[in-house]
Structure 1
């Protein structure tokens, strides 16, 4: 009898092990981040790994795009709108065991707005006049002018709270306050994170997660089919989605992103410094052909740098509609002929596939292109940092980022003082009706200046194991937030 009981116990134990709920996840990503410090790099892939997982800010974006409390459990605003008082959660620790206090918030914000700051979104902090630690869990931020958007600004990945003790190594060994800790980075292959046992908030269901870097669409498809990857939130082979839809092992997740996909033009590089040439390029582009050919029908045409799902969006696609005859006439008016432009393409499939299609469309109106396929680090250094390009294709996945056009030193080098004044007014305006007017004017201004070729809003086309729950459908920011992800039994 004793032996029977032992055998039964062993069977029960083995059955429990076999059917235990899975708590690990392998997530596919197209691009490998150049580093893991969201406060010191522009690449969206950084936030895709660390946002809400390793690092947290005072506030954060929810899956619906709403701004929610994070390290700050609440805040108040002064009557004149210039002073924000944030109340921090008590007992929060960084992953290295040090306390997260108001002094760390002071350090973070002062560092981000410093003259020598390398923060990619330094403009988010430009309106801060001073930051003061009232006590260990209270921070007072005084602004130079009212800014009703300040909690929104603090939700960006560029505004996560870091500590002076660990910031020097954040690029390769990030230390945050989030529900997951950094475990390892095997460059060229993956990053692994592990559940934080001392997390101040609600513990995540996943014990660990691995971000696997697979840029080739065919390899991504094979990895999903073989089960080497459990989910691919931004799947690079949309032409294969129908195969996943017909397979009960998988779930296809299609949503929207903040990614305005543009044919960026170097506005200081002749002849692209001539608005007639930029307009000619815009009219040479057949957006629907591009969406069908590069994205297999997934994507929404845009005519300016603004997301169609935003309530303030204005449809300006008609200003740059496909009109090759008009394109040729504009080039003739500009006195430009035998034009050859350098087209630099980063790795994402929308850029590589889209670049070939746009090159063919430009050739139809008499513009030749020299295509250079670049790795992400090379693109960041030469195009984004060095401004050494004529044309490039990239999705800008930051939320509500039309203000980048007010930065003359930004990589496409658009310098319009009137637009800069408009954005300055927008930054200090809290009235919703006036903000809508300013947003409309901003969209119309850059569309009329043909700063870039506005192509389409990037769709979020994801594939996941059908048992995985909690992945974001839409992408209000560039993140793979795993805090609510779990395997269904």
Structure 2
């Protein structure tokens, strides 16, 4: 049956070619450059990709996804399925078995207690877990023996591979984090900056928003890996400098996220030191519309919360007009070339889950102006700026991270919005801060102290269930969650929440696709809460002397860093 096929298909795995190196630590140092600098090494306290991926070298999940989107075991002995008995016939439980003999980098054994604790940590009611949607529908997690853990769901779960799967949901050590539960989580600096892990590398020194020094984990489960004895993980700068450091000067071995115009990358490759690599997954550059009021005149703790609806972005017609004014084809041309596609969807891939909407493909300035006219937003004083019916100017603070492509997008969108009578103030924030998740910072994308913000994110694996579940009512960042949460624009629709639950209990792959597409449409074309712009390919670069790199658009790009080696 189709439900069973879905679960059996998840067990597919990839056998990687053996790495061409002699043993652990024999290839010296590898230098990695992420121009968005990591600010924390605990992905449960940050939704930033740069934090999740840097941490993935140190702490690992039970299973993750390979470059084809197949699920492969990491800390687990195998992927639980109906066939092997790991998933119950009624689909309400999944039982994982750890590989025997696993050790943390401090030499202590990894047990099922660590797995259970990880769930307890993220699901703590007073905590602010950035990855809470992975545990959506989890009723309890219990240990059956030292190596076995059982997850029970509150309803049948045809896709039970949320908790502990993928780079966003790794296992953390109970001993290290047990005094860091709930509201105390952000206060545990030592644990958050220096997690004890099972990955190929361990932290030597972490300087937030700057550099991480790592060394080979002496207790890594493969005695011949990793080939590199040391990692210098540098953060900061910009995408241009990162590309040059690998492709032109050879100063670094790997550069992540080369968000640059295609001709710029092509010219850099002429330097002869490395090559760019690219692949399309579900990554979407988009605008998030703040449905709440971010005004600094509101008391701290009430800005950008549901206590105060936005004075004009609460009106769908305004959000729709802002979307209609944008020329997405031009954005793709100047920003990404062949590494980008126009999209109207939040989930453009995999193919079966793609709605393939076309409502936003063509710019319509006249239509946007007509829509705002009909909605009663007039320019009553002749200054070129429309006002709400109660006289508030349509002035928008539009923020994003500092990046040349994003600033080009901002400038164009500001001009298009001027043509429909909307005044726009542009703001760009250092990416390390913007995506950092610091609950004390006013500048994070989670806090959303702006009217509109632009960024891109994606999801692990080939099923968007967890990604779409992020928009459940109550999953928005707020003071009581330490400003963590994935429902960034504060969307809340009880009908959408019902679809989250329906998707969770639906096994037929075609019916799952129907539900997911409906959810995509509710967030995009039906409400314009999320305004997709570009379906982006991931573009990174590595030196000609770095072997073993396999670009993965379905998980952390550093998913197989244990297999990297130096080409002699």
Mean alpha-carbon deviation: is it higher for 427-436 or for 154-163? Answer: 154-163
Distance apart, 1:488 and its partner CA: 2.2
Secondary structure of the residue that 1:99 maps to in structure 2? coil
| Contact preservation (8 Å) 1:40, 1:118 | yes
| Contact preservation (8 Å) 1:303, 1:320 | yes
Aligned counterpart, 2:343 = 302
1:69 aligns with 2:64: no
Which of 171, 174, 181 is 2:192 aligned to?
A: 171
Q: 1:25 to 1:212 in 2, by over 3 A?
A: same
Structure with greater proportional strand content: 1
Question: Which whole-Å deviations, capped at 9, do the CAs of 1:255-311 have from their partners, x for residues lacking one?
Answer: 124322111111231211101001101111111111222335531211121033442
1:324 aligns with 2:348: no
Which of 471, 491, 503 is 1:426 aligned to?
A: 503
Secondary structure of the residue that 2:515 maps to in structure 1? helix
Question: Which whole-Å deviations, capped at 9, do the CAs of 1:331-386 have from their partners, x for residues lacking one?
Answer: 11222242221111222444333212211221222222111122235535435333
Distance 1:423 1:335 in 2: 35
Consecutive unaligned residues of structure 1, counting only runs of 5 or more, are 1-19
1:392 aligns with 2:453: yes
Aligned counterpart, 1:6 = none
Which of 218, 227, 251 is 2:250 aligned to?
A: 227
The residue correspondences of 1:40-79 to structure 2 (distance < 5 A) are 40-51=45-56, 53-74=57-78, 75=80, 76-79=86-89
TM-score, normalising length: structure 1: 0.90
Distance 1:378 1:200 in 2: 35
| Contact preservation (8 Å) 2:30, 2:232 | yes
1:461 aligns with 2:539: yes
Question: Which whole-Å deviations, capped at 9, do the CAs of 1:463-487 have from their partners, x for residues lacking one?
Answer: 2212322223342124323122222
| Contact preservation (8 Å) 2:328, 2:534 | yes
Distance apart, 1:216 and its partner CA: 2.2
Distance apart, 1:440 and its partner CA: 1.8
| Contact preservation (8 Å) 2:473, 2:493 | no
Mean alpha-carbon deviation: is it higher for 145-154 or for 111-120? Answer: 145-154
Aligned counterpart, 1:487 = 566
Mean alpha-carbon deviation: is it higher for 396-405 or for 91-100? Answer: 396-405
Distance apart, 1:197 and its partner CA: 2.0
- RMSD after superposition: 2.1
Which of 112, 124, 139 is 2:122 aligned to?
A: 112
Distance 2:91 2:548 in 1: 36
Structure with greater proportional helix content: 1
| Contact preservation (8 Å) 1:407, 1:414 | yes
Aligned counterpart, 2:283 = 259
Which of 421, 426, 440 is 1:366 aligned to?
A: 421
Distance 1:215 1:109 in 2: 35
| Contact preservation (8 Å) 1:25, 1:230 | yes
Distance apart, 1:320 and its partner CA: 6.0
Aligned counterpart, 1:312 = 353
TM-score, normalising length: structure 2: 0.78
Secondary structure of the residue that 1:129 maps to in structure 2? strand
Distance 1:258 1:34 in 2: 25
Aligned counterpart, 2:4 = none
Aligned counterpart, 1:207 = 229
Distance apart, 1:42 and its partner CA: 1.5
Aligned counterpart, 1:192 = 213
